[in-house]
Structure 1
Amino acid sequence: MNKELREFRRLERLCLEEAALSTMDLARSGLLKVADDCRLAAEAIEARAPPRGAIASAVHALRLALSARRASSRH
């Protein structure tokens, strides 16, 4: 759980840093949305509200969402 929490916090920081450097509005907006999703996931982990299986599902859903955003930005 701590590993997942650290990873979400690291991804949140990375997205915020990249958004600050981005010159494209669409990229900045997407990075800020992902950072917000990572923050929400980290908060859920910290609160220990969802059962362990749900966290793995959330990680999987986030990975799918990120890959879908990358694929849609290529088109």
Structure 2
Amino acid sequence: MNKELREFRRLERVCLEQAALSTMDLARSGLLKVADDCRIAAEAIEAQSPRGAFTGAVQALRLAWSATRTPNRH
């Protein structure tokens, strides 16, 4: 899945670069549409990927910390 994500991001970048260099409106418009499709595909892949181990660890630490914390008594 990482390989697919990297490839869609690379294609998006290439299309955006080529659109910026294009002198023809039709070509530029087509490249921008393809870049947008690649971005949407990459975002869909990112949404399906499981959360990273680091994020999970941080959330577990936050929960543990909040459970052991004593409330302020003012």
Normalised by the shorter chain, which TM-score bucket? 0.5 to 0.7
Using the TM superposition, give the Cα deviation of residue 19 of structure 1 relative to its aligned residue in structure 2, in angstroms.
0.1
Instruction: Write 1 or 2 for the structure with the bigger share of helix.
Output: 1
Alignment root-mean-square deviation, CA: 1.0
Unaligned runs of 5+ in 1: 50-75
Give the structure-2-normalised TM-score: 0.65
- 1:14 is paired with a residue whose SS is helix
Moved over 4 A (4+): none
Using the TM superposition, give the Cα deviation of residue 43 of structure 1 relative to its aligned residue in structure 2, in angstroms.
0.1
Using the TM superposition, give the Cα deviation of residue 6 of structure 1 relative to its aligned residue in structure 2, in angstroms.
0.1
Q: Is 2:46 the partner of 1:46?
A: yes
- 2:23 is paired with a residue whose SS is coil
Q: Which amino acid aligns with 1:47?
A: A
For 1:48 and 1:38, the matched residues in 2 are separated by 16
Unaligned runs of 5+ in 2: 50-74
For 1:20 and 1:36, the matched residues in 2 are separated by 14
Q: Which amino acid aligns with 2:7?
A: E
For 2:11 and 2:48, the matched residues in 1 are separated by 19
Aligned length: 49
Give the structure-1-normalised TM-score: 0.64
Alignment partner, residue 11 of structure 2: 11
> Which has the larger Rg?
2
Alignment partner, residue 61 of structure 1: none
